[in-house]
Amino acid sequence: MLDLNYIRKHPEEVKRAAEGKHDHADVDKLLELDGQRRGLIFESEQLRKTLNETSKEIGRLKKEGKDASAQMSEMKDVSKKIKDYEEKLRELDREMKEILIVIPNVAAADVPAGEDESANVVMRSWGKKRKFSVTPKPHWELGTALGILDLERGAKVSGTGFPLYKGIGARLERALFNFMLDLHTSRHGYKEIFPPFLANRASMTGTGQLPKLEGDMYRVAEDDLFLIPTAEVPVTNIHRDEILSHEDLPLCYAAYTACFRREAGAHGRDTRGIIRVHQFNKVELVKFVRPGSSSDELESLVKDAEEVLKLLELPYRVSKLCVGELSFASSKCYDMEAWAPGVERWLEVSSCSNFTDFQARRINIRFRDEQGKVQFVHTLNGSGVALPRTMIALLENYQQADGSVVIPKALLDYMGGVDTIRP
């Protein structure tokens, strides 16, 4: 969440920032409650001062053998007022938190203005689109013909949007995330984490998925647990309510998980193939860093994700998202899109975000600097990278005229001697 002091000083900026993200921030109501709260705190402090001073006077009167009943009666009323104020303060705190928790993060100064993806700015691209001698097939035709993707049986088991990989297809899926984990842990310095796939409400709220996106989440009602939409949730919450040492930072974690999203607002979109699914695999990168280094750490995070696509030799581009495309918690974000010639589209395979101290304030992750001062960390995360769209790009870019698909060199050591998938 945002720092309340920041909101007090920049209320109009916070309102504009929320509007830019297509959200509403009830800043006026928040500041009204804040004024009431500060007034109650002042009055409570005055009453406590009176209580302390009168208590001393009562003690003195009793010591001198004098009657202190009037003062004692008065202090009973004062004590009751203090308790009443404490109850009102708790209620105000609750109301303020309800507002604060739904105010989005403010976009960084260099984020482009704009309402939708048309205002995103392509920063760079890598690789060349392959020229085919025949019209390239989409991944669902390739997967079916090769016997590696069975969407009909996946739907029979769970419903549409739950892909089923078979044989070499299952091995290729496993090869991809094992390759990514090995790359990020051995070359990029991330520590591997294998977290739970279910998260509690506090964890989901802490990273910003709740309350806004609850409709997109799969929930186990009996336990009030959620199937994670991304490893960002459990990994970021590892250090909830902790004070880290400056010597610990930066902390960099890489985690493979399955991810689950209802995609409640996307009915009717990308219904063919596996472009938009409810369950998918992903390797997530999460960083906890000093406030002054988070901008540089974001650029480094993007490069780590880019290397996955470079080693797989998949054409891609990196875009800086405009304000209207930023997530609720993000201050700045880059999207990475791989080219998929069968569907003739750029497909998002990674989003890399700097959340500044927004998540850290929600889940209370701090660090103690060299001078002993306690500050909130900055958190970042990015896909390094996500499937199945990377799988789509791989199948469609590496298809051959005879219907086979060549395995990228970077994955050969993970494929048990298989270098080509043949019909």
- On whether the CB atoms of residues 236 and 363 are closer than 8 A, the answer is yes
Residues 140 and 35 grouped into a single domain: no
CATH of the domain at 263: 3.30.930.10
Clarify whether 389 is annotated catalytic: yes
Residues 292 and 205 grouped into a single domain: yes
CATH of the domain at 56: 1.10.287.40
Clarify whether 94 is annotated catalytic: no
Clarify whether 8 is annotated catalytic: no
Per-residue confidence (pLDDT) for residue 265, from 0 to 100: 55
Per-residue pLDDT of the chain (423 residues; tens, 9 = 90+): 999 999 999 999 999 999 999 998 999 999 999 999 999 999 999 998 898 888 888 888 888 788 888 888 888 888 889 999 999 999 999 999 999 999 999 999 999 999 999 999 999 999 999 999 999 999 999 999 999 999 999 999 999 999 999 999 999 999 999 999 999 999 999 999 999 999 999 999 999 999 999 999 999 999 999 999 999 999 999 999 999 999 999 999 999 999 999 976 555 566 789 999 999 999 999 999 999 999 999 999 999 999 999 999 999 999 999 999 999 999 999 999 999 999 999 999 999 999 999 999 999 999 999 999 999 999 999 999 999 999 999 999 999 999 999 999 999 999 999 999 999
Residues 287 and 209 grouped into a single domain: yes
Residues 372 and 397 grouped into a single domain: yes
Give the structural domain span for 56.
4-100
DSSP 107-155: PPTTSPP-SSGGG-EEEEEES-PPP-SSPPPPHHHHHHHHT-B-HHHHH
Q: Which of 37, 361, 362, 389 is catalytic?
A: 389
Diameter over CA atoms, the chain: 109
Residues 170 and 233 grouped into a single domain: yes
Clarify whether 48 is annotated catalytic: no
Provide the 3-class DSSP secondary structure of residue 57: helix
Residue at 219 is within a domain: yes
Scan for tokens 């995330």, then name that residue.
Answer: 177
Residue at 107 is within a domain: no
- Kindly give the pairing relationship between strand 191-193 and strand 219-220: unpaired
Residue at 95 is within a domain: yes
Residues 137 and 202 grouped into a single domain: yes
Phi, psi of 134 (to 5 degrees): -130, 165
Residues 252 and 330 grouped into a single domain: yes
β-pair partners for 337: 317, 348
- On whether the CB atoms of residues 237 and 199 are closer than 8 A, the answer is yes
Per-residue confidence (pLDDT) for residue 11, from 0 to 100: 97
- On whether the CB atoms of residues 338 and 92 are closer than 8 A, the answer is no
- On whether the CB atoms of residues 338 and 346 are closer than 8 A, the answer is yes
Residues 49 and 175 grouped into a single domain: no
* CA–CA dist 380, 374 (Å, integer): 19
Residue at 105 is within a domain: no
Q: Which of 276, 290, 345, 366 is catalytic?
A: 276
Residues 230 and 172 grouped into a single domain: yes
Last residue of a domain, one of 71, 100, 129: 100
- On whether the CB atoms of residues 145 and 356 are closer than 8 A, the answer is no
Q: Which of 37, 171, 261, 361 is catalytic?
A: 261
Residue at 71 is within a domain: yes
**Helix pair angle (139-146, 168-186), 10° resolution:** 120
Per residue, the 3-state secondary structure of 220-288, as one string, reads ECCCCEEECCCCHHHHHHHHCCCEEEHHHCCEEEEEEEEEECCCCCCCCCCCCCCCCCCEEEEEEEEEE
Per-residue confidence (pLDDT) for residue 53, from 0 to 100: 86
- On whether the CB atoms of residues 6 and 308 are closer than 8 A, the answer is no
Residues 230 and 344 grouped into a single domain: yes
Per residue, the 3-state secondary structure of 274-300, as one string, reads CCCCCEEEEEEEEEEECHHHHHHHHHH
The count of domains in the chain is 2
Q: Which of 203, 327, 330, 351 is catalytic?
A: 351
Q: For residue 354, which of 327, 335, 381 has the smallest C-alpha distance?
A: 381
Q: Which of 74, 348, 368, 404 is catalytic?
A: 348
Residues 388 and 308 grouped into a single domain: yes
Residues 243 and 307 grouped into a single domain: yes
Residue at 361 is within a domain: yes
Per-residue confidence (pLDDT) for residue 277, from 0 to 100: 96
Provide the 3-class DSSP secondary structure of residue 317: strand
Clarify whether 361 is annotated catalytic: no
